[in-house]
Amino acid sequence: MGKKKIAVLVGSLRKESFNKKLANEMIAMAPESLEMELVEIGQLMHYNEDLDQNPPAEWVEFRKKIKEADGYLFFTPEYNRSISGVLKNALDVASRPYGQNNWAGKPGAIVSSSISPLGAEAANHALRQPMVFLNVYMMQQPEAYIGNTMSLFGEDGKLQNEDTKAHLQSYLQAFEAWANRF
């Protein structure tokens, strides 16, 4: 079985984003069978159906990357008990124009994280809702809710918590098996 191209999407644009740090850690520990690439979403203009006749270059490139991916790994913070606007916009941009959904028929998984102990649980579940319409097959178990993120990283920005590392490694193994089912 060949390598699976996994698009990694981070729903936080903050320079020192804990979600981006977690994404980079998981990319570094990815098994050989997963070719994981961070796909930026902050440059995407807000989705507007009027622009589909002549889409911005950023949309065209993003849609291409999403279409070419074999699966998706999402990292989401929690904004007001839901996902960030920038992440929702990315979902919309790559699922349009209507009838040209670039997400469809592929496996996905979610890692949510927060400075609170709840680990962005509400955002994790909120992100699952549009996946039903987008026809992304979400991994159900194990789940990844990473709480108290402020205490997990060292001054060098690297993940220091061994329990969290072990959980993320186990999660990646499960995601590898999930992605290989498709």
pLDDT band at 2 (very low <50, low <70, confident <90, very high): confident
Instruction: Give the domain extent around 170.
Output: 4-179
pLDDT tens digit sequence for 21-50? 999 999 999 999 999 999 999 999 999 999
Task: Please give the model's pTM, rounded to 2 decimal places.
Answer: 0.96
Q: What does each C-alpha distance from 20 to 4, 94, 120 come to in angstroms?
A: 21, 21, 14
| Cis geometry, peptide bond prior to residue 97 (ω within 30 degrees of 0) | yes
Identify the CATH number of the domain in which residue 58 sits.
Answer: 3.40.50.360
Q: How many domains does the chain have?
A: 1
Distance of alpha carbon 182 from alpha carbon 177, whole angstroms: 9
Phi first, then psi: what are they for 27, rounded to 5°?
-60, -40
Q: How much is the average pLDDT of 97-120? A: 96
Distance of alpha carbon 56 from alpha carbon 171, whole angstroms: 36
